[in-house]
Structure 1
Amino acid sequence: MPRSRYKTLVDTFAVDIRSGRLPPGTRLPTHRQLATEQGLALVTASRVYAELEGMGLVSGETGRGTFVRETSLPPGQGISQSVVAAGMVDLNFNYPSLPGQADLLRQALRQLALSGDLESLLRYQPHAGRLHERASVARHLGERGLNVSAEQVLIVSGAQHGLAVVMMTLLKPGDVIAADALTYPGFKTLAETLHLEVLPIPVTANGPDLSALDKLCRSRPVRAVYSMPTLHNPLGWVMDTAQRERLVAIARQHDLMIIEDAAYAFLAENPPLPVAEMAPERTVYVSGLSKNIATGFRVGFVAAPLHWVAGFERTVMATTWNTPGVMTAIATAWLDDGTVYQLEAQKRADAQARQALAREVLTGLETVTHPSSYFIWLPLAEDARADQIAMALMREHVSVSPAEPFAITPHVPHAIRLALGSVDMDSLQQALLKVKRVVGYYA
């Protein structure tokens, strides 16, 4: 087949999709049907669909076929805050805040202004943070069941920066890292940027399929596993002690590093011990204060085996040099005086109230969540399409995330994630009612 005819067929499909003549959700002919209708070789028909998929116009789904995608859905939906327009109710991104937090910041700034240590905050800080501030973080982690010394802690510019520092230091391009088949989009972005190969661990109702992880390690040279054992984003699970022990056993058997992401762990009441406490010789614990204080409060921390700390310090130096001194001083003061624990308790209660409201409004829909989580995962009916539902909700001025940003498998489940923590309760109730109505319409 001449190249011009092949390109013409791709262009014809593209024009029909973009013009709406082939509306979102249209099931296209099978590869074999397209080959027969157009007089093509089967490999050429497959190439046509592959190019359309690469353009973001169609999606091929194992066992279902090839479908026209919702092309008017903003790119980056589920990752970028910039897609949320004015007047849009944001169930796409979480930035939970409580009344009175701005007053806490004003008071903290006044207290800092009266301190005798102010001038030192204007200078460069040690790359890992000042030792007394690292000690404050170590005491905080001890309250969570993770016993580490100040020397094992690094202060970083938010949990995402901490995750970047860890992966940049411990992994190199081409390394294989395993992660849950549905996982945090920020991890996916980092892995892609660092040219890592990410292998999916199938997910179950209560956590990752650890037998599948063990099998994966026997067939591929897996270097590390990225895990969110306490309040998983987006599925909300909390792995029990037996699951954590099994994960540790697999990691020791196959000599894996474990990256434990605990960004939302503060929301779980009385969780099991951190994986980092169970396997301190091979686990890096990453968390921060963006969710339990505020998303603009970019202070995070990494706790690691001592022999990795020097490498992490070099990476901090290469990326941000050090965490801003003023913000770190406020953060550690709030850790020391109990302000952080007070905010965490209030946010747990807030998340529980929002989950209770969601359970009431979404009665009759299948949901996957945790009673203290700020997320709800909403699987859709077999024939429903997440991109269509997300676009329909945008027309109703509600922004949600389809599953695609969270998926690391070729087959993306049709589901949406609802973030409950960014709007007031009345707006949340009205938005959830719209979600139920739109999902019901497409069911």
Structure 2
Amino acid sequence: MGTIWRPELVEGQGPKYKSVVATIRDGIDAGALKIGEKLPPVRELAWQLKITPGTVARAYTILTDEGALRAEVGRGTFVANPRAARISDAPIEIDVIPHSTEENNNPYNVSLFSPHLPCVGQDKLIRHLMAQVAANPPSGVMHYPSRDSARPARQAVLRWLEGTPLGPLGEKDIVLSQGGQNGILLVLQSILEGRKPTVLIEELAYPGFRRVAEMLRADVVPVPMDADGIIPEALEEITRTHDAQVLCTSPEVHNPTGGFTPVARREAIAAIARRHDMQIVEDDCYRMGVNRAPSYRMLAPERGWYVSSIAKTITPALRFGFAIAPEGKWSVLRRTAEHSFFGLATPVTDLCGLLLAHPQIDDLTEKTRQAFDKYVQSAVNILGGYDLSWRADVPFLWLRLPLGWRAGAFCQAAEAVGVQIRSAEEFVCRDARAPHAVRMAVNAGVSIESFEAAMTRLCQLLDNPPEQISV
């Protein structure tokens, strides 16, 4: 073990990982842990303290970030200079710096195609952790990615998902992906069989579902929906006429409408999936707040697949996502990923493992949510007189156009006044009829003044349609 230290968990309020941090600090201060001594492996210390390995791993990460400990690849974790813990006790000072984007240089042009995250300090934290990884990469720089090298990142994801109702879940159940879209691809590759499988999607759905299914030579069939999501009776009828293998859905934050599927509706959908032996893929990439209902993986643990990423909460730049298979099927999903690309680049998994386990990350994501809320409220204040669907914790709005406007024409008119938005046509199958509606993503990378000016220009267009249609 390298040391005769006999830890006793320091009791205190708050998360247990903080108690582990305090326990190790006390050991260093008391001289029981000397500079250069090796700490117990994560699982051994977890067993001694009767807590989870993830809790110990997070404490080790925090103390390593502070400089109190140092991690050496293949050797373990050692005590560094004990003064480093005292020097680095304060959190990283984070300055909120506006994004330097094209929109900043020309505030008249505002793109609302995709959500643009506000800069609330995550950029400085990422740069800090990138420098740390560059100075001493835990996974090295001369080896292929491996399951072991990515384990800290999977453990960090497990911690990130605390409170998400996913059913029994361990680190091995998590498969890392290159963003949420890649996660959907991995899941469908793991499920689909035969020469021409069928995939069901909502009649208004995230286009990535359709694109992945078509790339895998699957037929895509839309399912009618209402304000609560997929209509069970319509799903039952379609499953009788189509030998569908999988249903793709976004029940927590429906894209593009921002809708939510209540638990009773989810239970009915899960029951239909069981009767017809159909898998369910849940895309949870847009959720920023707490879950409002159990996931399909919890409601139907034998057939519920889950995909998410950090693109809408921390940054899309790292292309870091994850997929979770139903109980007992994790090995199939893992093989699909390993056979596709061997694993994410080790610097990315090293960085994201530190990032998701960092003690400041929860505060930063809450600041991101609050910033988006501010922009959403501004949009509602300006456009609230129209048929607008929105939620404070969702970074886009769904606008049903008034008589006189068609979606394509409205998007062209909006672009002419410097605002880019998405037509409902982008969210339906090619031969389907699209409603006259548009999705407006929140661009928090521009100033609130530029965003409100863009909303005002859209309001002026809505107030003055090119033609009035009598009914």
TM range (shorter): 0.7 to 0.9
> C-alpha displacement at 1:164, in angstroms?
0.8
Aligned-pair CA distance for 1:306: 5.1
1:91 alignment partner, one of 112, 132, 140: 112
* C-alpha contact (below 8 Å) 2:190/2:332 kept by paired residues: yes
Instruction: Please say if 1:138 is aligned against 2:161.
Output: no
Aligned with 1:212 (options 230, 234, 250): 234
**Once superposed, what is the RMSD of the aligned Cα atoms?**
2.3
Cα shift readout 1:110-142 (whole Å, capped 9, x = no counterpart): 332454x54525421126962343232223223
In the alignment, the residues of structure 2 paired with residue 212 and residue 175 of structure 1 have an alpha-carbon distance, to the nearest angstrom, of 20
Letter in 1 for 2:367: Q
Aligned match of 2:415:
394
| Percent of residue pairs identical | 27
Q: Deviations over 1:335-394 (max 9, x none)?
A: 222443223212221222122111110031101222221111111134421111111111
Superposed CA offset, 1:38-92 (max 9, x none):
xxxxxxxxxxxxxxxxxxxxxxxxxxxxxxxxxxxxxxxxxxxx9xx97631011
For 2:130, give the aligned amino acid.
Answer: L
Q: TM-score, normalised by structure 1?
A: 0.76
1:375 and 1:420 in contact (8 A); partners too: yes
Give the alignment of 1:370-381 within 5 angstroms. 370-381=391-402
Q: Indicate if the aligned counterparts of 2:396 and 2:440 stay in contact, CA closer than 8 A.
A: yes
2:461 corresponds to: 438
Aligned CA distance change for structure 1 residues 119 and 235 (closer, same or farther; 3 Å):
closer
The amino acid of 1:418's aligned partner reads M
Distance in 2, Cα, partners of 1:253 & 1:381:
41
Count matched residues. 358
Structure 1 or 2: larger helix share? 1
**8 Å contact kept, 1:292–1:340:** no
Match for 1:342 among 345, 363, 371? 363
Matched letter for residue 303 of structure 1: I
SS of the residue 1:179 aligns to: strand
Aligned to 1:62: none
The one-letter code of the counterpart of 1:134 is R
Q: 1:183 to 1:219 in 2, by over 3 A?
A: same
Gap runs ≥5 in structure 1: 1-81
In the alignment, what sits opposite 1:35?
A: none
Structure-2 residue corresponding to 1:251: 273
The residue that corresponds to 1:22 in the other structure is none
With structure 2 as the length reference, what TM-score do the two structures score? 0.71
| CA distance in structure 2 between the aligned counterparts of 1:346 and 1:238, rounded to whole angstroms | 23
**1:178-197 matches, cutoff 5 A:** 178-197=200-219
SS of 1:367's partner is strand
**Residue 236 (1) aligns with residue 258 (2):** yes
1:260-279 matched pairs, under 5 angstroms? 260-265=282-287, 267-279=288-300
1:369 maps to 2:390? yes
Give, as a single letter, the amino acid of the residue that structure 1 aligns with 2:464. Answer: Y
Pick from 110, 133, 152 the counterpart of residue 173 of structure 2.
Answer: 152
1:166 lines up with 2:187 in the alignment = yes
Find the residue that maps to 1:215 and give its secondary structure.
helix
Change in Cα spacing, 1:215 to 1:382, as seen in structure 2 (3 Å) is: farther
For 1:339 and 1:218, locate their aligned partners in 2 and report how far apart those are by CA, in whole Å: 50
CA displacement at 1:206 relative to structure 2: 2.5
**Structure 1 residues 171 and 128 mapped into 2: Cα distance closer, same or farther (>3 Å)?**
farther
Q: 1:327: how far off?
A: 1.6
- Cα distance in 1 for partners of 2:385, 2:208 equals 32
Distance 1:127 1:365 in 2: 51
* 1:332 paired to 2:353: yes
The question of 1:359 aligning with 2:359 is answered no
